[in-house]
Amino acid sequence: MTEASPSQQLRRLLHGQSGRLALAIVLAVAAASAELWPYWLLGTAAGVAVASPGPGAELFRLAGWLALTLLFKYLLYSAAYYCSHVSAFQVLLDTRRGLVRQLAGAPLRWLNQAGSGELKRLVLQDVDRLEQFIAHHTVELAAALASPVLVAGLLLAIDWRLALAALATVPFALLLQAMMMRGFGVHMAQYGTALDELHGTTIEYVRSMPVMKAYRQDATSFQRMRDSLHAYQALMSRITRQTVPAWSVFMVLLSANIATLLPAGLWLYQAAHVTLPQLVLALVLGSGMLKPLFKVIKLSTELREVQASLQRMASLPAPAPAAQQAPACLPDLPEVRFEHVFFAYANAPVLHDVSLHLPAGSLTALVGPSGAGKSTVAALLAGLLQADAGRIRIGGVALDALDEGARTALIALATQDAFLFRGSLLDNLRLGRPGASDAQVRQALRVAQADGCIDALPAGWHTHVEERGVRLSGGERQRIAIARALLADTPILLLDEATAFADSRTERRFYQALRAAYPHKTVLVIAHRLSSIASAAQILVMDQGRLVAHGAHADLLLRCPLYHDLWQRQFDSEQWHITEKKTHADH
């Protein structure tokens, strides 16, 4: 999906289905004309009845034709909808495949910043809207446009003045519609943005509901949700105030042509320019001939929504181009350097002039109080964010010079929020390395301290898990995610609070096993539990987005007050334990 206008993109999507859709439109127009035949037959029958009262062979013949025309109409519509649905389902399949391929190749930075509500709407709702429009509205729109034209042609055949009288209100209605639709495209864009924001905040609120319930909070306490709801309500109120009055008058004008058709028809009948059956036929058909235009207006609004969906599809970022074949230039054991790196979220500074060095094959711990910028450092190194200034180098090569494939071949990331896909645990483990052997999988599980929980499952690593691993504990999900990152066999491993749910003993065993089994990996660990990383070759201390100290544990205790304070507070908290107070009644 390259950048293109909505109309160009729609033509491109429909290119392979143009013949079938053209057939659907022809069938729909034929069905719309078949809808008029019963009225003509009834008018003819009325004339026959007036000329020769009583049942006769001609009336029975007309009744037979009436039944056949009704059957023919339904057959035509069925064939039209069959063609449009086949085309729509093929377009849906091709579009969704294309979107998934494009999202798979989208830059990590864009995916990291895109809202879940926006992506869900793009892949599901926008594609469904396109499918619905092609499957149903193509036939409906063709029939709705053809019907007034056919009726006008019939009235013109009876008497051109009848046709003119039936269409007398149309110019005023069209003028009013043009005024009403002025600025509607801007409204639709604003509506789409407001709806995306509301979807995203709703998903966020639902996910945070257990925490909010625990603190006796409701939706009114969730400021972002409240702001999104108020913004959506204000926008819809403004659009309604601007469109509903004109829309009401527009509907009245389209329904009021009987006020001009009836006097004109009576005058023509009195002047003997039309017969009574012709007058009745003209009044029956002419009074309702403009009602299909209501559907045209409704479908034109939905067409604008389809165009907005296509615009969102067209705005997807193109796959990141391969900058160079940098992996061939990298050493097997690359070091990592941050050189005067700055970064800000929405103009709020997060990192200030950060320079650090991760020696090849070393285990480095990054510590500091909450909000110090530790996770931002990991996200920058993983390519999820882009530095505002400064340079990040891996093995002497700038991170920006590596394409997505090269970067993911170098770096594996495990975070506190471990995500598991629906499928077997083995499929999740082999996600980054499908060809890993059973022995390699078992080693990664053993190092991650996950072999025990896997062996305890009835089907072992063949156990099926649902999306997000909802039936597993937080600690089990984290350990499986760590094993998956280890199995990817990248030279650099990032662990961002990846062992947050583990106890201190399990965490220490993990780090010991990690260095023993993977001694050549360059590991960056972000942890709050300092006792587990005290033996790290290097500890980096951050505070308020700055690197304030680095060195070994013993050295930092002596010369870094912040690190000493963090260590002391953790040491004191670990000494807390609950004892049972003895009373005299216990003796």
Question: What is the Cα 294 distance to its own chain's centre?
Answer: 31
230 compared with 587, residue with greater pLDDT: 230
- State residue 574's pLDDT score: 61
Residue with token string 């009644």: 585
- State residue 2's pLDDT score: 47
What is d(CA 286, CA 284) in angstroms, rounded to the nearest whole number? 6
**pTM over the 0.95 mark:** no
Element (H, E) at 98: helix 57-104
Q: For 224-235, give the DSSP string.
A: HHHHHHHHHHHH
Q: Are residues 313 and 364 in the same domain?
A: no
- State residue 24's pLDDT score: 92
Q: Are residues 469 and 400 in the same domain?
A: yes
Strand duo 397-398 + 389-394: pairing: antiparallel
- State residue 326's pLDDT score: 44
Q: For residue 476, what are the domain limits? A: 334-575
Q: Are residues 414 and 541 in the same domain?
A: yes
- Closest CA relative to residue 487, chosen from 433, 524, 448: 433
507 compared with 196, residue with greater pLDDT: 507
Decide if pLDDT at 1 tops 50: no
Domain boundary among 273, 288, 320: 320
SS (H, E, C) 32-87: HHHHHHHHHHHHHHHHHHHHCCCCCHHHHHHHHHHHHHHHHHHHHHHHHHHHHHHH
Q: Which structure tokens are listed for 370?
A: 């909450």
Q: What is the pLDDT of residues 447-496, one digit of tens each?
A: 888 888 888 888 888 888 776 665 677 778 888 888 898 888 889 999 88
- State residue 10's pLDDT score: 74
Q: Are residues 305 and 452 in the same domain?
A: no
Q: Are residues 524 and 421 in the same domain?
A: yes
Q: What is the pLDDT of residues 417-450, one digit of tens each?
A: 777 888 888 888 888 788 888 898 899 889 888 8
Q: Are residues 368 and 458 in the same domain?
A: yes
338 compared with 233, residue with greater pLDDT: 338
Q: What is the pLDDT of residues 11-68, one digit of tens each?
A: 777 777 888 888 999 999 999 888 888 877 777 776 666 666 655 677 777 778 888 8
What is d(CA 579, CA 33) in angstroms, rounded to the nearest whole number? 89
- State residue 325's pLDDT score: 46
Is residue 101, in this structure, part of any structural domain at all? yes
Q: Are residues 59 and 34 in the same domain?
A: yes
Is residue 59, in this structure, part of any structural domain at all? yes
Residue 34 backbone class (left: φ over 0; alpha: ψ -120 to 50; beta: rest): alpha
- Asked if 308 and 130 count as a contact pair (C-beta separation under 8 A), the reply is no
| CATH at 486 | 3.40.50.300
563 compared with 572, residue with greater pLDDT: 563
Write the CB contacts of 530 (distance below 8 Å, at least 6 apart in sequence): 367, 566, 567, 570
- State residue 11's pLDDT score: 74
Q: Are residues 363 and 505 in the same domain?
A: yes
- State residue 23's pLDDT score: 92
Of the chain, the end-to-end C-alpha distance in Å amounts to 80
Decide if pLDDT at 330 tops 90: no
Is residue 67, in this structure, part of any structural domain at all? yes
- CA dist 401 to 12, 289, 326, 396, 498, Å? 34, 65, 7, 11, 28
SS (H, E, C) 558-584: HHCHHHHHHHHHHHHHHHCCCCCCCCH
Task: Give the count of beta carbons closer than 10 Å to the beta carbon of residue 50.
Answer: 11
Q: Which structure tokens are listed for 384?
A: 């999820």
Is residue 19, in this structure, part of any structural domain at all? yes
Q: What is the pLDDT of residues 127-141, one digit of tens each?
A: 888 888 888 888 888
- State residue 540's pLDDT score: 92
**Domains in the chain, number:** 2
Decide if pLDDT at 315 tops 90: no
* pLDDT band for position 578 (cuts 50, 70, 90): very low
- State residue 59's pLDDT score: 72
- Asked if 542 and 373 count as a contact pair (C-beta separation under 8 A), the reply is yes
| CATH at 12 | 1.20.1560.10
Q: What are phi and psi of 130, to 5 degrees?
A: -65, -45
Q: Are residues 413 and 316 in the same domain?
A: no
Q: Mean pLDDT across the stretch 262-287? A: 85
Q: For 140-151, give the DSSP string.
A: HHHHHHHHHHHH
Q: Which of 63-77, 247-261, 276-290, 570-584 has the lowest mean pLDDT?
A: 570-584
Q: What is the pLDDT of residues 352-385, one digit of tens each?
A: 999 999 999 899 999 988 888 888 998 899 888 8
Is residue 235, in this structure, part of any structural domain at all? no
Q: Are residues 340 and 313 in the same domain?
A: no
Is residue 571, in this structure, part of any structural domain at all? yes
Q: Mean pLDDT across the stretch 105-128? A: 72
213 compared with 279, residue with greater pLDDT: 279
- State residue 470's pLDDT score: 59
Q: Are residues 315 and 338 in the same domain?
A: no
Is residue 48, in this structure, part of any structural domain at all? yes
Helix (H, G, I), strand (E, B) or coil at 392: strand
Q: What angle do CA 268, 274, 32 make, to 5 degrees?
A: 110
Strand duo 363-367 + 411-415: pairing: unpaired
Q: What is the pLDDT of residues 99-110, one digit of tens each?
A: 888 777 676 667
Decide if pLDDT at 585 tops 50: no
Is residue 454, in this structure, part of any structural domain at all? yes
Decide if pLDDT at 70 tops 50: yes
Q: Mean pLDDT across the stretch 157-178? A: 83
- State residue 391's pLDDT score: 92
| Percent of the chain scoring above 90 in pLDDT | 12
| Percent of the chain scoring above 70 in pLDDT | 84
Q: Are residues 442 and 304 in the same domain?
A: no
